[in-house]
Structure 1
Amino acid sequence: MGVFETATPMRRGGWTTVLVLAWPLAVPAQTVTELPPVPVQAMRLDLPAFDLPAALASVPVHPAASGKPGVNLSEALVGVPGVLARDRQNYAQDTQLSIRGFGARASFGVRGVRLYADGVPATMPDGQGQLSHVALAAAGRVEVLRGPFSALYGNSSGGVVQLWTAPGEAVPQRSVQVHAGADAGLSVAAGARGIAGALNYNVALAQWRSDGYRRHSRARRDVGNARLAFGLGAGRTLTVVANTLVQPQAEDPLGLTRAQWHADPRQAVTTALAFDTGKRVRQNQLGVIWEQAGPRDALRLMGYAGRRTVLQMLAVPRAAQASPLSAGGVVDLDGGYGGADLRWTRRTDALERPLELVLGLSADVQDQRRRGYENFVGDALGLRGALRRDERDRVRDLDPYVQLYWRLAERWSLLLGARHNTIAFRARDRYVTGANPDDSGRVRYRATTPVIGLDYRPGATLRLYANYGEGFETPTFNELGYRRDGGAGLAIDLRPARSRNGELGLKWHPRDALALEAALFRADTRDELAVATSYGGRSTYRNVGRSRRQGGELALDGELGAGWRLQLGLTWLDARFRSAFLACGETPCMAPQVPVPAGTRIPGVPWRYGSLRLERGGALGWHGGIELDGAGAVPVDDRDSARAPGYLRTGVDIAYGLALGSTRLGLSARVDNLFDRRIVGSVIVNDGNGRYYEPAPGRSLTLGAQLTF
């Protein structure tokens, strides 16, 4: 079917297509404006992204401008190649995020990709992360680093995503925005930013709630975000970043089988209703960054601390909890985390050959109490019952790193780096009975990950580059928690996955307001993780050998003329196991027995995917855009026994902005999935019950209003 496999549109879509393509013609042409220079901090260097030998995207975040409510990070990643961000319509499990195939097997949260918010880690030392504690209403831009240089950020860095709060401006702004849409969705956000003397501030509060597209998928999220930067003089700055998240409700409808999805994509499985599956989350976090910049030297010290509590009800059958080794069907996590990063930078301009050296040391720690309870009391299901697990989990890392940028000659530059990773896991079991032995244990992983990149400048508007690096990804605590032989203790036999990554790239900026970038990449991994057993409500893991992820990316971003602006990101990705192994064929699975031949596709990774936005208009008057996003068919398990069909989805938005004195009012309307296609939004890789499919909503309308003072 061409690039994407698609579903059949509804018959009434014909006249809608004509309107979609015709309405922009009525929008007055705008003068072409140059793209403003965007500071890029993802590489820890004071250099523009154009001059770095790495695939690095920096895109502005203003979801309200395209009629979006600002709830999910996926709203801000349109046109970024390599990145696949799937809105699961399941806020008990968060957005499914992967970069070049890394992180695709995460069943909840984000793993395989490092996350940061205003320079503060949002990924725990074991590699598990999430960004739901950040208010997109306050965000200014998101940076995405793909390829080998992401290894400079440590464990589980198949890519790096950094969200940055918008700085205050000389003219203070106050804003309120409201978005209402399908399924009783309501998003309200208020913010204030500006400059008051030595203080640069941005404060935002947001609340979002929805009844959910599917049955048993109600959710509510309250987020607060503050960034306060104090200028102390003599090049010194103190920045305080505070976040709070309260998610009192996030029902989990669980996945569907293919037959259930075809019969009714809005349904929830009966076990979800019986056990009232879902999650409640509360998190508070504070980060402090002190910086001193001089003519040649710069020093940065970052420290952060937070506390996060999670209570999650799972659909583990009562019979499975009869085993004395069962951890129950309720997960109760409560613990703190924190860390620090010290970085020194030296810059020289000797002999017109700039050189920049970065030396750093980072340390992080996560200390949480994990308890498990039965999810029933007597004959009543969905209640917290008897205690079945009680342990203290601790993970910490200590990583020195170094980077060196050197302009070798007029047309050549070199970027080197390395990071030494030391990550230690420890579990102390407090639930020990005659039938449940002591599960305490510890394991430590170490790795050094070098990177090198070379950049060639044939002209002022063209850059060619090549790079190589090695990556490192440990199992998370969830994967270490159980041994596949059923014995007590951590699965200390699991080895970290190690990757060798290479990339060739081109960056061409024919004019200031237009950029074209392309890259070819390959990542060879050994000791890839896969499911070993699945029974009794728990899964165990093992290393299965080698894999390869290779492909190409294309990005086009900028002004096309006559007021038109385009953001386009396309990715071709071939991800396969290179070693044969045995996999589970059905549940319960006490031991893998089904052969998986070398060359089988890695689950959760489509062959092709991409997104596009074409828009016209400015902040005042009419403004609108068309968005396309699509993906090819996605394997759902290690055996590639079934695939979620590919799709091509269309969204359209129109807005009108008017000035009321010093106040600006913006009104918007947006239609997603314009042709009402039936789409699998994401897959639950290797689901033990065969419920791999998470449906995306059909056609939906969102109305918005934004008032800026």
Structure 2
Amino acid sequence: MLEAVTVTSPPPRATTVVRTAPTARAKQSRRRAYSEVAAQTVTAVRVGIASVPNPASFDAQQQRLWRRPGAESAVSVVRQDPGKKSNLRDVLQLTPGIYMSDRGENSQGTISIRGSDISQTGPRSGRGVRGYIDGIPLGRIESGISLPILDLSVADYLEIYRGAASLRYGALATGGALNLVSKTGLTAPGARLSGYVGSYGVRQSQMEYGGAKGNVDYYAQVNGFRNDGYEYHSANDTLRFSGNVGWRPTDNIENRTSVAVGSTRQELATQVPLDQIVTYRRSGYDPTNASFPYDTRANLDYQRVVNKTIFRNDTTSFEITPYFLATSFDHLPSPRAGIVDVKWQDVGISTRLEHRADLWGLPTELVAGYRPTYETANYRSWQWAAGSGGTVKNRLVQDDQFKSWLHEAYGEAAVEVLPQVRAFVGLQAFQTSRVYKDDYAGPVIPSAGLMGPGSSSGRRNYDRSFEALNLKFGMNWEYASRHFLFGNISRSTEVPNSGDIFALLSVETATNLKVIQDLQMQQAWTYEGGVRGSWDRFQYDLTLYHMNLRNEILSQCALGLIPKAQQTPAIRGQFACNLVGSLVPFNADRTVHRGIETVFRTKPFIDLFTPGDNIFLNAAWTYNDFYFDGDRLYGNSHLPVIPRHNLYGEVGYRHASGFYASANLRYVGERATTFDGSGGENFKIPSYNLFGAKIGWRAPDDSASLWFEARNITDVAYAGDFTALRTAADASGGVTVMPGTGRAFYAGFSKRFD
């Protein structure tokens, strides 16, 4: 017999929230009504999904994820202690298995889960990690996560799916998937004003407003972020607006329309020599003083529209969701690369069916979906005008069109084969095309040296399709109340994206080499097992995994593909290994990713001074062991970039009145910079420890908060990000890195107005 669990539901459509005149009594009544509705509980069958609101509450989702067969977790954004939350790294410190490079206080950098995208950077970062907002693809279908689109200011909570768990939204990605669950007028009622300021010109502000009336709810927000930058020429300026409107014409039909618009202006700093990072970590470094006069940048604008309709009854729900995303990217990765202007458009429709039934007398939950998406893009490159510093376009030298279809179909069945034992079987099938066409028809234009490359040869063409069938098998056993064993076996694939194609075709144009035809689809089998559970004051999660990969798509400096005899000064300048635009993909033969992911949360002492206070201790540790498996070039060398050990821990005190204080430690282990392990100690990034502290107060009813945060208190000079090299010989003058942020302080507030 299926166990019933009690979960907290977000406020449903209710007449108790109808707005009245703004008297004190009305405000108190409305606040009490919201509180009572939010405190309501619904009893839902554990595998039932039709009775759970969409989106589900954080508490309901947490309980569901515990009963799944893989490494899945929910991370509340609104319940975390107030503090700086300008990027995923700020929010996911206590989520194991995730590594994010540190490129300042903005949304730049790379995200990697279980070593996915192990050496990528730039606008195509995030290979192997699929991003979603409310279950709908976040960004470009043929790439990873476009981090500037991921606005944490509108997040209620995040769902993290590591490995095969990503099938929940139709992906069997090597790394996994991340889903942002948005605030709505039901979960974030009232008006709220919040903001913070900090070191190096950091300031952020947000205004948001939500509510409900009858069968309609609404939420809207606008936020701005500005950072002058820790390193010279690394300022960031971001402005975002988003909102959604929900409508329930009947109890069985729900519709929600969401819109988002954003603009990011990001300066790109120079890298500095690792052995001189203490001296140049703020000023940048360039012996020839050739980079500072140029406006190297990565500017992104986006517009996103989604309309989701859900039909449901007691046992079944069906979703149909058309969606549209337009993005434009203005990029000067380096002076010699020229101004790169890319415009993408994605349009698709997502369908999803969830059904609860008995299969041969066994309680069963079925999930199936189909999602076709079409993407078009226009890649254009210009030489820039003399004297403009790279801000003014001059002569068009490249004009390429990119088109891609992606058809994804997936299904999963969860069957309770024995009491407290659930078996899972899943299948994902996809077919995708990559069509890249050189439309340049202008005159032959020679290279302009620092002001950009020469014109296209007219032969930058690529047309290929990929398809795959990926399987998943798993189980979950609740061997004791609130304690679970789980495991799964799954297959995953990753396909070359448009950034890969553009990078390799750029090498072909500059050198007349043929390098793109060798790039293959990546494949992997993953074996995963773990245990998780909780007692009254202790919660734990431990996962072990082993992944065997074929043709893993890695990135190296482009000079590694170009014979020394063809490396003219212009070529070495255009593809210098310390430049963002120098990375090109390549396939490894066989690689292995394996690791341990663990997190625990505990309150070892409660009611110390007053009833309801406690001492809390939380920690997350990730062990990574990634290496080549008998590779013909790299032998059994360990893969670069990702550290073996990654640890975050915090200890603190919390009072029932809302006061809290804590100290934290972030440890990042030593990292290799070369694929073949060459270069010795001079080509290894040292480990580092960063100490931080927080103190603040949040009202028990979340009506107001004040907080102060300190990071890197000891002002450690460390490498936040870097580009991997094929071999130490590819580096001229040693390893160059992007410095992490030094000692910094932040202070902020929030206030809700009912």
* TM-score over 0.5 (shorter chain): yes
Tell me whether 1:65 sits opposite 2:81 in the alignment.
yes
Query: For the residues of structure 2 that align with 1:123 and 1:157, how far apart are their CA atoms?
Result: 18
SS in structure 2 opposite 1:637?
coil
Q: Structure 1 residues 458 and 658, CA, compared in 2 at 3 Å: closer, same or farther?
A: closer
The 5 A counterparts of 1:428-467 are 428-432=437-441, 436-467=457-488
Alignment match, 2:158:
142
Tell me the residue number matched to 2:176.
Answer: 159
Map 1:367-406 → 2, pairs under 5 A: 367-377=376-386, 383-406=392-415
Query: More displaced, 336-345 or 559-568?
Result: 559-568
- Following TM superposition, by how much is the alpha carbon of 1:195 offset from its aligned partner in structure 2, in angstroms? 2.5
Q: 1:381 to 1:164 in 2, by over 3 A?
A: closer
Conservation of the 8 A alpha-carbon contact between 1:66 and 1:653: no
The yes-or-no answer on 1:698 pairing with 2:742 is: yes
State which of 599, 606, 625 in structure 2 corresponds to 1:574.
625
* 1:541 equivalent in structure 2: 585
**Letter of the 2:670 counterpart:** A
Q: Deviation at 1:601?
A: 1.2
Among 275, 287, 292, the residue aligned to 2:306: 287
In structure 2, C-alpha distance between the alignment counterparts of 1:657 and 1:41, rounded to whole Å: 21
What is aligned with 2:221? 204
- Matched ranges for 1:207-246 at <5 A: 207-246=224-263
* Paired letter, 1:164: V
- The partner residue of 1:127 within 143, 165, 170 is 143
Does the Cα contact within 8 Å between 1:291 and 1:298 map onto a contact in 2?
A: yes
- Give the superposition deviation at 1:352: 7.0
After the TM superposition, which residues 291-310 of structure 1 pair with which residues of structure 2 at under 5 Å, given as runs? 291-310=310-329
Q: Which amino acid in structure 1 is aligned with residue 322 of structure 2? A: G
Tell me by how many angstroms 1:468 deviates.
0.3
* Cα distance, 1:461 vs structure 2: 2.5
Is 1:678 paired with 2:717? Answer: yes
Provide Cα deviations, 1:313-342, integer angstroms capped at 9, x if missing partner.
12143xxxxxxxxxx421101231121211
Whether the 8 Å contact between 2:294 and 2:389 is mirrored in structure 1 is no
Structure 1 residue 555 corresponds to structure 2 residue 599: yes
Correspondence list, 1:383-532, <5 A = 383-432=392-441, 436-481=457-502, 482=504, 486-487=511-512, 491-511=516-536, 514-530=538-554, 531=556, 532=560
Q: 1:141 to 1:46 in 2, by over 3 A?
A: closer
1:379-418: per-residue Cα shift (whole Å, max 9, x none)? 9655422111101111220011111110001132111111
Mapped partners of 1:527, 1:124: distance in 2:
23
Q: Distance in 1 between matches of 2:712 and 2:259?
A: 36
Shift of 1:505: 0.7
Q: Distance in 1 between matches of 2:625 and 2:260?
A: 38
1:632 corresponds in structure 2 to 669
Q: C-alpha displacement at 1:64, in angstroms? A: 7.7
Per chain length, whose mean CA-contact separation is higher, i.e. which structure has more relative contact order (CA < 8 Å, sep 6+)?
A: 1
- Tell me the CA shift for residue 40 of structure 1: 6.7
Identity of aligned residues (%): 18
Aligned equivalents of 1:634 and 1:193: distance in 2?
Answer: 45
TM-score (structure 1 length as normaliser): 0.85
Q: Distance in 1 between matches of 2:553 and 2:317?
A: 40
Find the partner of 1:84 among 95, 99, 117: 99
Bigger shift: residues 259-268 or 300-309: 259-268
Distance 2:408 2:260 in 1: 25
Partners of 1:380 and 1:48 lie apart in 2 by 54
3-state SS of paired residue (1:132): helix
Alpha-carbon contact 1:514-1:557 (below 8 Å) kept = yes
Q: For each residue in 1:610-667, what CA deviation from the matched residue of structure 2 results, as whole angstroms up to 9, or x when unmatched?
A: 22233432684422222222210111232334221111212111113469xx994322
Residue 136 of structure 2 contacts residue 350 of structure 2 at CA under 8 Å; is this kept in 1? no
2:27 is matched with: none
Alpha carbons 2:551, 2:590 under 8 Å: kept: yes
How far is 1:176 from its partner?
A: 0.7
Report if aligned partners of 2:494, 2:522 keep a CA contact under 8 Å in 1. yes
SS of equivalent residue, structure 2 residue 165: helix
Alpha-carbon distance, 1:262 to partner: 3.4
Amino acid at match of 1:180: V
**What residue is the counterpart of 2:684 in the other structure?**
643
> Structure 1 pair 131/243, CA: closer, same or farther in 2 (3 Å)?
farther
SS at match of 2:334: coil
One-letter amino acid of the counterpart of residue 120, structure 1 = I
Q: Which residue of 2 aligns with 1:179?
A: 196
CA RMSD of aligned residues (A): 2.9
| Residue identity in the other structure for 1:197 | G
Of 207, 211, 214, 1:190 maps to 207
In 2, Cα distance between equivalents of 1:614 and 1:262? 30
Deviation at 1:539, TM superposition (A): 4.6
Shift of 1:48: 0.9
Equivalent-residue separation in structure 1 for 2:722 and 2:494 (angstroms) = 22
- In the superposition, the TM-score normalised over structure 2's length comes to 0.80
Per-residue Cα deviation, 1:289-324 (whole angstroms, up to 9, x for no partner): 11112111110112210211111112143xxxxxxx
Q: Which has the higher helix share?
A: 2
Give the count of matched residue pairs.
644
CA distance in 2 between counterparts of 1:138 and 1:480 reads 34
| 1:96 matched residue in structure 2 | 110
Q: 1:364 to 1:214 in 2, by over 3 A?
A: same
Instruction: Provide, for residues 562-620 of structure 1, a one-character-per-residue CA deviation record: whole Å limited to 9, x for no partner.
Output: 123343211111000113244xxxxxxxxxxxxx3x22111111101022233432684
- Once residues 388 and 208 of structure 2 are traced to their aligned partners in structure 1, the CA distance between those partners, rounded to angstroms, is 48
* 1:25-60 deviation line (CA, Å, top 9, x unaligned): xxxxxxxxx9x9998799x99971111111111111
In 1, the alpha carbon distance for the partners of 2:136 and 2:297 equals 28
Distance 1:501 1:423 in 2: 23
Gaps of 5+ in 2: 1-38, 43-51, 445-455, 563-570, 576-581, 607-613
Cα distance per residue 1:391-447 (max 9 Å; x no partner): 111122001111111000113211111111111000121114668133222111111
* Equivalent residue letter for 1:553: E
1:665 & 1:619 partners in 2: Cα distance?
A: 15
Partners of 1:171 and 1:219 lie apart in 2 by: 28
Deviations 1:39-98 (A, max 9, x none): 8799x9997111111111111103883321x3112111021111112331285x813211
Match of 1:13 in 2: none
The question of whether the paired residues in 1 share the 8 Å contact of 2:72 and 2:165 is answered with no
Residue identity opposite 1:522 in structure 2: H
Shift of 1:215: 0.5
Unaligned runs of 5+ in 1: 1-33, 318-327, 583-595
In 2, Cα distance between the equivalents of 1:622 and 1:379?
53
- 1:129 deviation in Å? 2.1
In structure 1, how many angstroms separate the alpha carbons of the residues matched to 2:282 and 2:228?
Answer: 12
- Cα offset for 1:256? 1.9
Q: Structure 2: how far apart are the matches of 1:394 and 1:41?
A: 38
Match of residue 668 from structure 1 = 707
8 Å contact kept, 2:628–2:639: yes
Q: 2:25 matched to which residue of 1?
A: none
2:283 maps to 1:267:
yes
CA distance in 1, matches of 2:657, 2:191: 18
Q: Aligned equivalents of 1:410 and 1:122: distance in 2?
A: 37
Q: For residues 193 and 310 of structure 2, what CA distance do their matches in structure 1 show?
A: 32
